[in-house]
Amino acid sequence: MGEGTFGQVLECWDLENQESVAIKIVRSLQKYREAAMIEIDVLQRLGKHDFTGSRCVQIRNWFDYRNHICIVFEKLGPSLYDFLRKNSYRSFPIDLVREFARQILESVTFMHDLRLIHTDLKPENILLVSPDTIRIPIRPPKDGSVFKNLPKSSAIKLIDFGSTTFDHQDHNYVVSTRHYRAPEVILGLGWNYPCDLWSVGCILVELCSGEALFQTHENLEHLAMMEKVLGPLPKHMIARADRRAEKYFRRGLRLDWPEGAASRESMKAVWKLPRLQNLVMQHVDHSAGDLIDLLQGLLRYDPDERLKARQALQHPFFTRCHRRCGY
C-alpha cells in the first residue's frame, strides 16, 4: 500500500475478523523500533478516548516478528496528498476544504486535550476513510480536462503518530516535515502545541491551491518565503533566535535576503510567491475573506498569538457556513 523510511505498509486479510487491514511493518533498526513503540503507546491512548473512532486511525493489534514491529490498523483510503497527486494537483472545492479543515482541527483539538502534540501534520498523514470517488464536470474545462475526481465522502482520519510527543517532554529538537515546519522550530526557539496549528495552516493552503505553500529544503530560503507570503518576521523572535539561526539575519535585525541567497533559482522561487491574500483569491471564490482571516490566525509567526485548535473551530469560516448551508 505504501512505503517510507520507516518500512512498508501491506494490505492484508484478517482471517479472524474477516476484514481487510493495513499492516505497518517497521524496519528492524533500533530508532525505528523505538518510534514504533511510541506510536503504539499513543494509538492505544487515543483509542481509549476516541469513543466514536472518528478522529484518528484505529489500531487493531501489534506484534513483533523477526525483530520487526508490525502494527495492524483498520484499512482506510488514500491520503489527501495521494488524491491531489492522482488528480494532477487540482485543488479541492472550498466547501470540501472546509469539511476537511473542520475534521483536522477537531482531531488536533482531541490530541491537544490529551496533552499530545502530533508534530508531523501534512497531507500524507491525513487519510480519506473511503477510497470511493465521484466524477464531476469541470466548468470551464481546464488543461484539456472536462472531468475531475472528488472523494465520495469527506470523512478523514489522522495517521502516523511515530513523532508524537507529550507536552512535558523536551521540545528543542527539529520537528515536522520541512514544508509544514513552523518558524519557531527553524529559529530554535523551542516549540509546543502551536507548531501543529502552523502545519494545519500550510495544509489548508495546499488543499485549496493544489500545491505546497513553502516548497523549499533550506532554512534561509524558507524564512524568505514566509516573509514574502506573510510579511516580516517579528523583531522579538529574531532577537531570540538560537546560535545556529543567527546566521540567517543581518546584524540580528533583518533577514539576510536576497544577499544570502544560495542561487538565482532560489531568489526566483521566493520572488514568484504572492501574498497570502492574493494566493487564496486566485483559487477561492466564495468564503475567500473568511478563509484568509482563518489562515492569518493559523500562520501567525508568534506561537503565543497563533490560533488554538479549539478557537479556530469557532471561526466564521466554519460558523458562517452553518447559517448559509443550514447544517
Extract the C-alpha cell encoding 77. Answer: 483510503
User: Is residue 120 annotated as a catalytic residue, yes or no?
Assistant: yes
Q: How far is CA 197 from each of CA 49, 64, 104, 241, 304, rounded to the nearest angstrom?
A: 22, 34, 10, 21, 11
Q: Which of 302, 186, 282, 293 is nearest to 234 (CA)?
A: 302
Extract the C-alpha cell encoding 321. Answer: 457556513
Q: In terms of DSSP H, where are the helices of the chain?
A: 30-49, 80-86, 94-113, 183-186, 194-209, 219-230, 235-239, 243-246, 264-271, 276-283, 288-298, 309-313, 316-325
Q: What are phi and psi of 207, to 5 degrees?
A: -70, -35
Q: How far apart are CA 196 and CA 9, in angstroms?
A: 25
Extract the C-alpha cell encoding 190. Answer: 523551542
Q: What is the per-residue DSSP string for 8-32? A: EEEEEEETTTTEEEEEEEE-SSHHH
Q: Which of 6, 279, 272 is nearest to 124 (CA)?
A: 6
Identity of residue 140 = P
User: Among the options 50, 120, 160, 290, which is catalytic?
Assistant: 120
3-state SS assignment for residue 283: helix
Residue 57 and residue 40 in contact, taking contact as beta carbons nearer than 8 Å: no
Q: How far apart are CA 87 and CA 322, in angstroms?
A: 29
Q: How far apart are CA 156 and CA 171, in angstroms?
A: 28
On the 0-12 / 13-18 / 19+ scale of CB atoms within 10 A, 237 is: middle
The kind and range of the H/E element at 156 are strand 156-158
Catalytic residue numbers?
Answer: 120
